[in-house]
Amino acid sequence: MNERQICKSRGYEPYLDREPAFENFNYASVVGMLLYLCGHSRPDIAFAVHQCARYSFAPKRSHELALIRIGRYLKGTLDGGLILDPTDDLRLDCYPDADFAGLWGHEHP
């Protein structure tokens, strides 16, 4: 199978939620590694990894399959990600939402 092609979900399969996780699969460790990637270079997988992290206490086979699917996505998109190059011209743009908690007119403090 080509790694760039992501498998389409066949829908909810309840029998996968009853199957216990593999004993030799360290689910929490894999989730931790993926969370590190989310925060440092791959924000595109943040939602999927967060959903997997919710089941770290008692993962089932379906949750392991979700992690494997994220791994396939990462393998197929090695050229993607967030790359920050250091520059001398550092500029910070800030856009605050300063509506003063919804005050109307000239009631600003």
Convert the pLDDT of each residue in 20-75 to its tens digit: 666 777 889 999 999 999 888 888 899 999 999 998 888 888 888 899 999 999 99
Q: Is residue 41 part of a domain?
A: yes
- Does the pTM surpass 0.75? The reply is no
Give the C-alpha distances (Å, rounded to integers) separating 80 from 4, 25, 34, 74, 77. 12, 27, 15, 9, 5
Q: Is residue 87 part of a domain?
A: no
Q: Is residue 11 part of a domain?
A: no
Q: Is residue 96 part of a domain?
A: no
Domain of residue 40, residue span: 27-80
Which residue is it, tokens 């520059």? Answer: 87
Q: Is residue 73 part of a domain?
A: yes
Number of independent structural domains in the chain:
1
Q: Is residue 15 part of a domain?
A: no
Q: Is residue 74 part of a domain?
A: yes
Q: Is residue 107 part of a domain?
A: no
pLDDT of residue 98: 65
